[in-house]
Structures are given as C-alpha cells and as structure tokens.
C-alpha cells in the first residue's frame, strides 16, 4: 500500500473518529460519563492524527521531497 493511500485512510479514520464521538455522545452512550467517553474517542483520534503525520512524511520521501 502506498503512503498516499495511507494518508487517505488516516484522514478517513480521523474524520470518522470525530463523527463517531459526537454520534455516540448523543445516542447509545448518552448515559455514560462523557469524560470517559471523550477520553476513549480522543485516543482513537490522536492515533489517527499520528498516522496522518507519519504517512505524510513517508509520502514526501516517496516523492523525493526532503523538506
């Protein structure tokens, strides 16, 4: 899988985690402690962000851009 594909998938995961966080906060997990729910979704969101940053570096290296 190319680095560009990884970047696209990571952006989808990032957006999906933010949307999923909002949906679960107002639907199936509305009776759960929102801080705990938020921390759980934040872990997924931050992981997706880390994948985006790492994949962007890989994509730049594939393109030969060292900046």
CA distance 23 to 17: 10
What local confidence, expressed as pLDDT, does residue 51 receive? 87
Q: Using CA atoms in the order 67, 59, 39, 27, what is the torsion angle rounded to 10 degrees?
A: 130
User: What pLDDT digit, counting tens, does each position of 19-64 carry?
Assistant: 999 999 999 999 999 999 999 999 999 999 998 888 877 777 777 7
Output the CA torsion sign for 31, 44, 22, 27.
Answer: negative
What local confidence, expressed as pLDDT, does residue 66 receive? 57
Residue 67 has pLDDT above 70, yes or no: no
- Is pLDDT larger for residue 5 or for residue 31? 31
């Amino acid at each position: 899988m190319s680095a560009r594909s990884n970047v696209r998938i990571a952006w989808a995961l990032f957006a999906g985690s933010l949307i999923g966080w909002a949906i679960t906060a107002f639907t199936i997990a509305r009776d759960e402690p929102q801080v705990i729910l938020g921390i759980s979704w934040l872990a997924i969101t931050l992981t997706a962000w880390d994948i985006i940053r790492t994949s962007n570096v890989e994509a730049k290296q594939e393109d030969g851009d060292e900046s």
